[in-house]
Amino acid sequence: MKVLITGGFGNIGLSALEELLKAGHEVTVFDLPTKANLIAYKKFKGKIRVVWGDLRKLEDLERAVRDQDVVVHLAFIIPKISRTGIDCNEQPGIAEEINVGGTSKLLQAMRMQPVPPKIIFTSSLHVYGYTDQLSPPRKVDDPVMPVEHYSRHKLTCEELVRNSGLTWSIFRLAAALPISLKLDPGMFDIPPWNRMEFVHTRDVGLAIARGVSSSQIWGKILHIGGGPSCQLYYRDIVNRVLGSLGIGSLPENAFSREPFATDWLDTSESQMILNFQTRTFEDYIKDLKKAFGFKRYLFRALAPIIKKFLLSRSPYYRVSRQGKLLEGKVALITGASRGIGREISLKLSQAGLEVILVSRNREALDSLAREIEGKGGKAHPYPCDLSLEEEREKLNLWVKEKFQGIDVLVNNAGFGWYGYLEDMPWDLAREMVELNSICPLHLIKLFLPQFKSRGSGYVINVSSIAGEIPSQGVALYSATKSFLSVLNSALYRELKGKVFFSSLKLGPVDTQFFEPERPKGSLRIPGKVFALRPERVASEVLKLLWRPRREVYYPRWMRVIPLLEFTFGWLFDALGPALLKRQFQKSARSSKVS
C-alpha cells in the first residue's frame, strides 16, 4: 500500500516509518526541511519518497497526498518540547493554525483526490482531562474534558476527522517517551502519584503499521497504550529513568501537587485487533542504557551536580525550599477577580502567602476565596472600585487594621480601549488614566510606610509591551503603561535594598481583554496573536518574589521591542495611520459578526 506519514521524522514518525517499510509498504514522508529532519532522512534515502512542506499550505499537502492509500497524520505542535521551537501552550495562536488549520487543509487535500485515501489520526489520552478522582482505566467512551490548548486542538481535530466524509480511525496514544533524555522543566509539572500509562514508541509504530492493513480499525477510536505491565505511577517512571542513568531519584517536593491529564487506559480492543504490545517499560530502560552507553558512568560520577541542576529547574522545589521566606507573608493583588489577577492570586496562595483579593466583582472574589481556602490557602476578598481615590484610602485603612501592613503589592488592575482617541468618551479616558496609572501610584504611596515598617517589601507592576512601542489604536493605554514602567524603574533606583520594584512587561495575554465585552465605545482588538496563558504569567510573578528584577519581558524575545522602536520608529510613523484604518475596519466587521 502507499502510505503517507505527516511528521514522519519525529519520535513516533520514525518508529512508524521503520515498521511500515518492514511490512513492505511504499512510504511517503511529509515534514519540514529542518536540520534534524534532513539528518534523519539520510538514513532512509532511496527507500522512501519525501515531500518537504508546510501543513498550512494546501498546495504542499496536495503534492503529498496524491495517489496515497492511507494517510497517517502525526504532525502536531506539542507542549514544552517541539522540534519547531513552538510551544503549544505558550503560543496557542500559531499552534492552532498548524494543528487545527493544518489538519483541516490536509483533509481538504485528501477529499480533492479522485480516490480519497483513508486516514489514521493520532490523538492523545490528554483529551480526558484530570481523572485522578476516577477509578482507572479510561475507556474510549469516557467523557472528554480537555484542560489545555494541546488537548483542545486534538479534540477539535478528532471532530474534523470524524466529520470529514473520509474513512477514518483515531488512535489515542499513551505516553510514548523518546529514547533520549530531555531535561525540560515541564517534567516537574506532573505529581509523583499521577497515574501514567507508558507505551514504547516502537509499539506505537507497530500499531500504526498493522492498522494500515487492518479492516477492523476503521470508524473506531482506539487506545494505544503499553497495557497493564506499563501502567505506572509517575514517580516510578522518573526514578527508573534517572536511576538507570546513575543520577538517582529526586525528592517529591520537586514536583507539582496539581493533577495532570494522564491515566491508565483500557487497551483490550486495540490489542485484540492489532496485537502490538511487544515491549515493556523495562525494555525502554534497556534502550536508554544502550543509547547513552559509557556516558552513564560519567552521569554517575557527576550525579550530585546533575541532581542540583535538575532541582534548580523545578519551580516547585524552589517554593518548598523558600517556603519559610514566603509563608505567612501578606500579598495584595488588584484586579484579582479574573484573568491574570486570578491566576496570580492562586499561584501566590499556593506558595504560602496570605492573599488579599481586590476587585469590583464581589461574587467572583468570594468564589476565588473559597477555591483558595479549599486548597489550604488563606484569602480575603475586598470588593471596591479602585478608580476612586476614597476607595483606595479605605482599603489602606482596612489593611492596617486587619494585617498591620502588607509585604507584597501586585498592581494588576487595568483595562484597555481600542480605536481612535477622538472617539473615546472622556469619562472612559479619565477612568483609564485613574485605574491604570494613578491607582498604582497612589497604592504604592499608601503602602510604602508599611513596607518600611516591616523591613522590606515587594511591588510588582503588571505592565505591557504596549508601553515600549506606542501603537496606533491604543494610544492612551500605551501611555498609561509607559508611565507605570518609568515609575517602576525610578522607584527601583530610589528604594533599592529597602523595597523591591519589578515591572513585568507582557505581550498579549489570553484573557477577557480580547473578548467582545469591552468598555462602551471600544472595538475588539483583532486576533489573539502569540497570546500567553495567564497561569504562565502568574509563574513569572512568583519568580520575581524569589529573584527581584527591575524589569522582565515576557515572553523573553520581546526585549527586542524597544530596539525595534528605536530602529524602525520612522517606518511605524509612516504606516501607522494606514494600519489603524485597516485594523479598525477589520475590528468593526468582527464586532458586527459577534
303 in a domain, yes or no?
Answer: no
Residue 286 lies in a domain: no
Whether 392 and 446 have beta carbons less than 8 Å apart is answered as yes
Q: Which of 468-477, 572-581, 583-592 has the lowest mean pLDDT?
A: 583-592
Query: Could you give the 3-state DSSP secondary structure of residue 519?
Result: coil
Q: What is the mean pLDDT of residues 386-392?
A: 93
Q: What percent of the chain has pLDDT over 70?
A: 85
178-209 pLDDT tens trace: 877 666 677 888 999 999 999 999 999 999 99
One domain for residues 269 and 353: no
- pLDDT confidence tier of residue 526, bands split at 50, 70 and 90: very low
Assigned domain for 255 exists: no
Q: Is residue 252 assigned to a domain?
A: no
pLDDT exceeds 60 at position 518: no
Residue 329, SS3 per DSSP:
coil
Residue 344 has pLDDT above 80, yes or no: yes
Residue 289 maps to a domain? no
Helix axes of 339-350 and 534-546: crossing angle, nearest 10 degrees: 50
Tell me: do 336 and 274 sit in the same domain. Answer: no
- Is residue 136 located within the same domain as residue 29? yes
Banded pLDDT at 145 (limits 50, 70, 90): very high
Q: Which of 253, 281, 309 is the last residue of a domain?
A: 281
Is 351 part of any domain? yes
Where are the extended beta strands (E) located within 339-477?
354-359, 378-383, 408-411, 458-464
The burial of 390, by beta-carbon neighbours within 10 Å (0-12 exposed, 13-18 middle, 19 or more buried), is given as exposed
Residues 271, 358 within the same domain: no
Number of domains the chain is built from:
2
Q: What is the pLDDT of residue 450?
A: 85
Same domain, 433 and 328: yes
Between the alpha carbon of residue 310 and those of residues 54, 129, 191, 315, the distances in Å are 35, 27, 16, 11
Same domain, 166 and 111: yes
pLDDT at 576 over 70: no
Q: What's CA 367's distance to the chain center, in Å?
A: 25
Among 150-154, 498-502, 511-515, 554-558, the minimum mean pLDDT is found in 511-515
DSSP secondary structure letters along 288-327: HHHHHTTHHHHHHHTHHHHHHHHHHT-HHHHHHHTHHHHT
Query: Where does 112-265 have alpha helices with state H?
Result: 149-162, 201-213, 234-244
User: Average of pLDDT values for 473-481?
Assistant: 87
**374-383 b/e with 16+ CB inside 10 Å = b?**
eeebebbbbb
Q: What value does the mean pLDDT take over residues 8-36?
A: 95
Looking at the predicted structure, is the pLDDT value of residue 336 above 60?
yes
Mean pLDDT, rounded, for 359-382: 92
85 has pLDDT over 80: no
> Do the Cβ atoms of 503 and 540 come closer than 8 Å?
no
Check residue 520 and give its pLDDT.
45
Domain stop point among 252, 281, 310? 281
**What is the C-alpha separation between 98 and 87, in angstroms, rounded?**
12
Query: Per-residue confidence at 515, pLDDT binned at 50, 70, 90?
Result: very low
Annotated catalytic residue, options 150, 477, 492, 553: 477
What was the pLDDT predicted at 574? 62
Cell of 200: 514504547
Report which listed range, 48-52, 301-305, 572-576, is most confident: 48-52
Domain residues for the domain of 44 are 2-179+198-232+262-281
CB atoms within 10 A of CB 494: 10
pLDDT average, residue stretch 95-103: 92
Asked, for residue 467, whether it belongs to a domain, the answer is yes
**Which carries the bigger pLDDT value, residue 111 or residue 323?**
111
Write the single-letter amino acid at 30: F
Q: Which residue has better confidence, 307 or 518?
A: 307
Assess whether 234 carries a catalytic annotation.
no
Query: What confidence score (pLDDT) does residue 514 get?
Result: 40
Whether the pLDDT of residue 174 is over 90: the answer is yes
The pLDDT confidence band at residue 318, using thresholds 50, 70 and 90, is: low
The verdict on 73 and 202 lying in the same domain is yes
State whether 273 and 377 are in the same domain.
Answer: no
pLDDT class of 486 with cuts at 50, 70, 90: very high
Both 113 and 33 in one domain: the answer is yes
Does 461 have pLDDT greater than 90? Answer: yes
Question: Residue 587 pLDDT more than 70?
Answer: no
Instruction: Find the mean pLDDT for residues 50-54.
Output: 96
Distance CA 202, CA 286 (A): 14
Statement to judge: residues 383 and 515 lie in one domain: yes
Domain co-membership, 133 together with 275? yes
CATH at 448:
3.40.50.720
- Of 99, 102, 101, 103, nearest to 89 by C-alpha is 99
Instruction: Write phi, then psi, for 546 (nearest 5 degrees).
Output: -75, -40
* Claim to verify: residue 328 and residue 275 sit in the same structural domain: no
With respect to residue 533, please indicate whether it lies within any of the assigned structural domains. yes
